[in-house]
């Protein structure tokens, strides 16, 4: 098993890059889900209000 956690002396650099990648991908996905839920909820609320009024 090459590498190992120290990665020569470059451990900080390599791991921070992978960590950053993970963070950004997860964050982007989370924001997308959040937005979808929010849009869905808004539409649902408005449709319900329309229905109640009918």
Residues forming contacts to other proteins in the complex (CB under 8 A) are 1-4, 7-11, 13-14, 16-18, 20-21, 24-25, 27-29, 31-33, 35-37, 39-40, 42-44, 46-47, 51
What is the smallest separation between the CB atom of 37 and other proteins, expressed in angstroms? 6
HEC secondary structure over the chain: CCCCCCCCCCHHHHHHHHHHHHHHHHHHHHHHHHHHHHHHHHHHHHHHHHHHHC
What is the smallest separation between the CB atom of 2 and other proteins, expressed in angstroms? 5
What is the smallest separation between the CB atom of 27 and other proteins, expressed in angstroms? 8
Give, rounded to a whole angstrom, the gap between the first and last alpha carbons of the chain: 68
């Amino acid at each position: 098993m090459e590498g190992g956690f120290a990665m020569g002396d470059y451990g900080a650099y390599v791991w921070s890059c992978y960590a950053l990648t993970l963070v950004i991908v997860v964050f982007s996905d989370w924001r997308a889900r959040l937005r979808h839920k929010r849009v869905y909820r808004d539409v649902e609320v408005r449709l319900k209000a329309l229905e109640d009024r009918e």
